[in-house]
Chains A and B, each alone.
Chain A
Amino acid sequence: MGNMPFVVSMILVMVGFLTLITRRNLIKLAIGISIIEMGVNLFLVSLGYVKGGIAPIYTYAPPGAKEMVFPTPQALTLTAIVIGLATTALMLAFAVVIYRHRGTLDAEKIRELRG
């Protein structure tokens, strides 16, 4: 069972890619990318987990605590979440602008740039 988080995160990534390939709504595409991001973040944060470990805050550690989880992957995950927020916000903003111009969110119809 120790590898379960990795399996789940890879399933999330697959689900996200499947969304991107099969869905046509621009908002759903942004959601698909967000799902992949969640999968990757879960992967990162589960890398640093130690069984029975406590939160890596030295001053708040209870006296009998033996092990802490790795702090670095948590820092990485926080950064990745912030970056994910920025990209998702930007994509949604572009989706809104595209909707205003074309009156549709169907990616099959938003194909002015082709060939």
Chain B
Amino acid sequence: MRIGSGEGFWGPIVWVILALGILAMGFAVWLQGRRTYKRGTEQEEPFLSGEKLSKGGGAVAGIHLYWGFAEALRPLLSRLVAFHSGFVGDYVGWLLVVLVVSLLVVMLS
């Protein structure tokens, strides 16, 4: 079952078979791992670039995720938030803008 776009195609079944193949390869690699590690030592801890994990470790709320990304876009985002003012008059004003633009485009084309 493939769908074509004229240039490329998308076959989900092929994709699923490939994905299963890659998963099987990953499983094979995992099977090569050592079974003789010692429980309860530092061998069980995740390796994070050699950093020590802090014991308490506060929970990361969803709002903190991509914090840097949102911070970098702050000028744009704050303008967008201000644009969504919540004032009904603004809603109507922007509707008029869309109306005028569509009238102009239709008249001129």
Contact = CB atoms under 8 A, between A and B. Distances in A.
The answer to whether A and B interact is yes
Interface of A: 17, 20-24, 26, 29, 107-108, 110-115
Q: Is the interface of B mostly helix, strand, loop or mixed?
A: helix
B86 A113 contact: yes
B96 interface: yes
Contacts of B81: 114-115
B93 A111 contact: no
Nearest to A22: B89
Contacts of B92: 17, 20-21
Interface residues of B, number: 10
A21 B91 CA distance: 9
Interface of B: 81, 84-89, 92-93, 96
A17 B89 contact: no
A82 B71 CA distance: 51
A111 B86 contact: yes
A114 B86 contact: yes
Contact of B93 (A21, A108, A112, A114): A21
A111 B90 CA distance: 12
Given A20-B92, A21-B93, A115 B84 contact: yes
Contact of B88 (A17, A107, A112): A107
Given A114-B84, A115-B81, A115-B84, A24 B96 contact: no
